[in-house]
Amino acid sequence: MGSSHSGGGTSDRAALAARYAQVRAATLALAAPLSAEDQCVQSMPDASPVKWHLAHTSWFFETVVLRPHLPGYEVFDPAFAQLFNSYYVSLGPRHPRPQRGLLTRPSRQQVLDYRAHVDAAIAQLMHRAGGDATSLLELGLHHEQQHQELLLADVKHLFSLNPLLPAWGDTAPHPAAATSATGGWSEFPSQEALIGHADSGFAFDNEATRHPVRLQPYALANELVTCGEYLAFINDGGYRRPELWLSDGWATVMAQDWRAPLYWNPDGAQRLFTLAGERAIDWAEPVCHLSFYEASAYAEWAGYRLPTEFEWEAAVAQSAALRQCFGAVWQWTRSSYDPYPGFRPWTGAISEYNGKFMVGQLVLRGGSCATPEGHSRASYRNFFPPAARWQFTGIRLARDL
C-alpha cells in the first residue's frame, strides 16, 4: 500500500498524529451545523445519514487498524460491527444499506462517544505504530476524507427534498466560475502515455500499476462546460431528443422525467438549490450534478465527446492551459471502471475496498469543490454508476484531431 509515512521516526509519528487529528476534526466540523434530526435521516438508498458516516469512519479505524494492531483493545460496542459495516462481506453481517435511516439508536451522542473512544485508542497506537499499522492509518484517513465529500453530497440531497429548502451554511462548497475563462482547446499529439500512480505518496490500489497507454491525437477543452452552455442544450430540446442519448440513458430520462440537472428548478425558474440554500443560477459557473448519461448526451449535442480517463490524466500532466481540473466538479470520462494491467487488490480485510466494484461503473477524474484539500491527485480514479448525479459531477469535452 502506498504511504507517505514510514512510521519509524518520532517526527513521522507526530506528523501522522497531527494529520489524524485534523481529518477527524474536519468531519465533526461538517456535521456541526446539523441537528440530531438532520443527522439521522436517509433521503435515498444511495445516500447515508450523517450519523452513519460519523460512526462508519470510526468503525473502519476500529476494525481495520485497532483490533489487529493494538494489543488489548476493547471494542466500544460489539453491536456496532454489524450496524456500521458498509460492504465488507468478509467482516461479517451488515445492516441493509437502504435502511440506515432507521437506526435511530444509537443516539448521536453515543456515536460521538464512539468516535472519542476510537480516537483515544488511536493515540495509544501512535506511540508504537509502524509498518502495516501506519499504512492502514493512512488509508483510514483517506477513507474518512472520501466520506467527508459523501456526507456533503448526502446532506445536499436530503435538504433539497425539504420544502423549507434549508441551508447547511453560508460557507458551503459550490463550484465557482473560472477566474480567467478564455475558452479554447489544448491539443495533444499521438503518444504513449504512462498512466497510474507514480510517486511515493499515498494512492489507492485501483491507481496501480503504472502502465503505458497508446493515445491517438486529441484535444481537451481548457474549461468545464458551464451552466449557460448547458442551458442552450436544454433550450434546444436536449431532454426530448432520443437521438442524443445512449439507450439506457434515454430510458432513464423517460422513467425519471429528467428535464434539467439535479437541483435546478424544474419549473423553468432560473434558480438552483445549493448547500447554502436556493439562489439564482450563475450561468458562468460549471454545470454540476449531472449523470454520465447527461454528460454523454450534451457532448453528442455539442459535436464532441467525453475524454477517456487516460486522455484526461495525460493531459493534466502536460498542459498548463487546462483549468478547473481540481476543485470545481468531478469530470465524467468515457472509461469503464476496470482494473489496470497487473492490478492486485490489497490483502486482508481491505481487499474489498475497490476491486469488487470494477463492473458497471464509469470513471470520473479530478476533484470537486467538496473534495477535501490534499485529497486530489492526477491519478485518482473516482467511480459511480452512469445514472448517479447527486455527487458534484460535470463535463469537460474532448475531440479527436
Sort strands 218-221 and 191-195 into parallel, antiparallel or unpaired. Answer: unpaired
Is 4's pLDDT higher than 60?
no
Residues 6 or more apart whose CB falls under 8 angstroms from that of 192 comprise 212, 213, 214, 215
Question: How far apart are alpha carbons 306 and 333 in whole angstroms?
Answer: 6
Neighbours of 229 (CB within 10 A): 18
Cell 460549471 -> residue: 286
Question: How far apart are alpha carbons 3 and 285 in whole angstroms?
Answer: 35
The confidence score (pLDDT) of residue 129 equals 65
Question: How far apart are alpha carbons 120 and 123 in whole angstroms?
Answer: 5
**Mean pLDDT, rounded, for 332-361:** 94
Percent of the chain with pLDDT over 90: 90
User: Residue type for 61, please?
Assistant: F
Question: How far apart are alpha carbons 279 and 227 in whole angstroms?
Answer: 14
| pLDDT class of 9 with cuts at 50, 70, 90 | low
pTM beyond 0.85: yes
Nearest to 314 by CA among 183, 191, 397, 400: 191
H-run or E-run covering 229 = helix 227-235
Question: How far apart are alpha carbons 138 and 150 in whole angstroms?
Answer: 19
3-state secondary structure 91-114: HCCCCCHHHHHHCCCCCHHHHHHH
For the chain, give every domain's residue range. 10-160, 185-400
Cell 468531478 -> residue: 330
Nearest to 157 by CA among 392, 394, 393, 390: 390
| pLDDT class of 6 with cuts at 50, 70, 90 | very low
Q: Mean pLDDT score of the chain, rounded to an integer?
A: 94
How far is residue 308 CA from its own chain's centroid?
18
pLDDT tens sequence across 227-238: 999 999 999 999
| pLDDT class of 127 with cuts at 50, 70, 90 | confident
pLDDT tens sequence across 150-205: 999 999 999 999 999 999 999 999 999 998 878 999 999 999 999 999 988 999 99
Question: How far apart are alpha carbons 399 and 337 in whole angstroms?
Answer: 21
Helix/strand/coil for 317: helix
C-alpha cell at position 7: 512510521
120 burial (CB, 10 Å; 0-12 / 13-18 / 19+) is exposed
pLDDT tens sequence across 270-282: 999 999 999 999 9
| pLDDT class of 13 with cuts at 50, 70, 90 | confident
Is 350's pLDDT higher than 60?
yes
The CATH superfamily assigned to 185-400 is: paralog of FGE (formylglycine-generating enzyme) (3.90.1580.10)
| pLDDT class of 3 with cuts at 50, 70, 90 | very low
H-run or E-run covering 192 = strand 191-195
Is 2's pLDDT higher than 50?
no
Residues 6 or more apart whose CB falls under 8 angstroms from that of 380 comprise 204, 207, 365, 366, 367
Residues 6 or more apart whose CB falls under 8 angstroms from that of 13 comprise 7, 126, 127, 129
Percent of the chain with pLDDT over 70: 97
| Residue, of 136 and 199, whose pLDDT is higher | 136
Distance in Å from the first CA to the final CA of the chain: 38
DSSP tag of 286: B
